[in-house]
Chains A and B, each alone.
Chain A
Amino acid sequence: MGPNGEAEVGSDGPRQKGRATPDTITIGCIAQVTKDGQPRRAEILSIKETKSGRQFYCNFDNFNKRLDEWVPVSRIDFDQDVEWPNPDKDKQKDAKSKKSTTVSKKSQPSKKAQKKVGKREQSVASEGQTPHPWTEFVESQNKVDGEDKANASLEVGGTPGLGPDEMELDEDETPASAAKKEHTQSFSREQEIEKLRTSGSMTQNPAEISRIRNISKVEFGRYVLFPWYFSPYPEVFSQEDCIYICEFCLSYYGDLKSFTRHRMKCTLQHPPGNEIYRDDFVSFYEIDGRRQRTWCRNLCLLSKMFLDHKTLYYDVDPFLFYVMTTRDDRGSHLIGYFSKEKESADGYNVACILTLPQYQRKGYGRLLIQFSYELSKIEGKLSSPEKPLSDLGLLSYRQYWSELILDLLLGYSEREEKCTIETIATRLAMTTQDVEHTLQALKMQVYHKGEHKIVIPEKLMHQREKSRAKQKRVIDPDRIQWKPPVFTAASRTWGW
Chain B
Amino acid sequence: MATRKVRYKKLSVKTLLSVLREDQIDPTEYESLTNEAQIATGVEQAEENEYHLQAVLQSAGVAADKEIPVPPPQESTLNYDELYSRRFSKTSTYIRFSQTVEECIGCMYDMTEDDEAFLKSYNQKRAASAQLSEDDFEKIMDVFEDTSYIKAPFASIDQTIVPYQDMLQGLQDLDNAKVMPHAKDIYEYWKSRRQALNNQPLHPTLKFEKHQDSDEADPYVCFRRREVRQTRKTRARDVQSAEKLKRLRKELEEGRQLVLAAHQRELLKAEMLKADRAIFELRAQLKEHKIRLGIKTDDEDLINQKVSSPLFIFCHTQFDTDTSQPQKRKAPEAPAVQRPPPPTQLRIAARSDGRPTEADLSLLADRLAEKENELRADIEKKVQSHNEWNRNHLDLTRGPLSPVHEPRQDVSFRPAKTQYLMTPPTSASGASLEEPTPMELDKPQNPQPVFKFRGVARDEESRENPPAYRRRIGRLNRLWIDRRGMASPPREVSAEVLDRWKYDQSSDDEDDPPLYEVDPFDTNALRFRASIPLPLWMTNRAAVPNARAPLPPPQQPPQPQQPQQPVSQPQPQPQLPPPAQAAAAAAAG
Contact = CB atoms under 8 A, between A and B. Distances in A.
B50 A62 contact: yes
A137 interface: no
B348 interface: no
Contact of A297 (B22, B99, B223): B223
The DSSP consensus for interface residues of chain B is: loop
Contacts of B63: 399, 463, 466-467, 470
A448 B105 CA distance: 66
B536 interface: no
A270 B95 contact: yes
Contact of B110 (A236, A259, A294, A412): A259
A309 to B, nearest CB: 6
Contacts of A6: 46
Contact of A64 (B9, B47, B116): B47
A489 B30 contact: no
A208 B217 CA distance: 8
Contacts of B21: 413, 455-456, 458, 461
Interface stretch (B36-44, B353-361, B575-583): B36-44
A440 to B, nearest CB: 5
Given A110-B198, A490-B244, A453 B207 contact: no
B220 A107 contact: yes
B223 A312 contact: yes
B17 A263 contact: no
Given A394-B41, A420-B15, A103 B52 contact: no
B128 interface: no
Contact of B84 (A221, A292, A461): A221
A275 interface: yes
A145 interface: no
A300 B29 CA distance: 50
B58 to A, nearest CB: 12
Q: Which of B16, B75, B94 has the largest number of chain A CB atoms within 10 A?
A: B94
Contacts of B29: 448
A358 to B, nearest CB: 4
A233 B206 contact: yes
Contacts of A208: 219
Interface stretch (A25-33, A47-55, A385-393): A385-393
B101 A294 contact: yes
Most buried by B among A5, A110, A208: A110
A197 B228 contact: yes
Contacts of B217: 99, 102-103, 106, 189
B216 A189 contact: yes
Contacts of A329: 87-88
Contacts of B69: 67
Most buried by A among B44, B50, B56, B216: B44
Interface residues of B, number: 114
A107 B206 CA distance: 13
B83 interface: yes
A237 B88 contact: no
B205 interface: yes
A295 to B, nearest CB: 5
Given A221-B84, A226-B73, A313-B224, A489 B113 contact: no
A459 B138 CA distance: 64
A272 interface: yes
Interface stretch (B229-237, B279-287, B412-420): B229-237
Contact of A489 (B44, B220, B233): B233
B133 to A, nearest CB: 12
B503 interface: no
B185 to A, nearest CB: 20
Contacts of A422: 13-14
Given A257-B112, A455-B22, A275 B72 contact: no
Contacts of B98: 272-274, 291
Given A6-B46, A133-B71, A421 B86 contact: no
B21 to A, nearest CB: 5
Contacts of B134: 261
A100 B221 CA distance: 11
A222 interface: yes
A447 B8 contact: yes
B511 interface: no
A441 interface: yes
A433 to B, nearest CB: 8
A464 interface: yes
B219 A251 contact: no
A367 B138 CA distance: 42
Interface in B430-471: none
B389 interface: no
Contacts of A224: 73-77
Contacts of A236: 204
Contact of A455 (B15, B30, B53, B61): B30
A262 B13 CA distance: 56
Contacts of A470: 63
Contacts of B47: 1, 64, 388, 390-391
Interface in B194-239: 198, 203-207, 212, 214-226, 228-229, 233, 236-237
Contact of A267 (B30, B78, B86): B86
Contacts of A446: 25, 30, 33-35
B237 A222 contact: no
A391 B55 CA distance: 11
Contacts of A360: 70
Contacts of B106: 265, 267
B2 to A, nearest CB: 11
Contacts of B40: 437
A7 B45 CA distance: 8
Contacts of B233: 489
Contacts of B52: 63-64, 391
B19, B115, B225 interface centre (most CB from chain A within 10 Å): B19
B35 A249 contact: no
Interface string A477-496: 00001000000111011101
B87 A330 contact: yes
A257 B62 CA distance: 48
B68 A395 contact: yes
B80 interface: yes
B142 to A, nearest CB: 11
B104 interface: yes
Contacts of A456: 19-22
Contacts of B4: 447
Contacts of B22: 455-458
B46 A412 contact: no
B60 A441 contact: yes
B64 interface: yes
A454 B18 contact: yes
Contacts of A409: 19
B329 to A, nearest CB: 40
A275 B206 CA distance: 29
B192 interface: no
A66 B60 contact: no
A250 B104 CA distance: 12
B261 to A, nearest CB: 31
Interface in A436-477: 436-437, 440-443, 445-448, 450-461, 463-464, 466-467, 470
A260 B229 CA distance: 40
Contact of A357 (B30, B34, B72, B116): B72
Given A5-B45, A66-B70, A421-B13, A257 B25 contact: no
B51 interface: yes
B46 A261 contact: no
14 contacts: A1-B47, A104-B218, A197-B228, A257-B113, A258-B203, A270-B95, A390-B43, A394-B43, A441-B39, A443-B34, A456-B19, A463-B62, A481-B94, A493-B241
Given A228-B71, A274-B96, 12 more contacts: A99-B217, A110-B198, A234-B220, A251-B105, A297-B222, A391-B47, A394-B41, A395-B64, A421-B14, A436-B13, A440-B39, A457-B22
Q: Which 6 A-B pairs have the closest CB atoms?
A: A234-B204, A312-B222, A258-B110, A275-B94, A210-B219, A275-B95
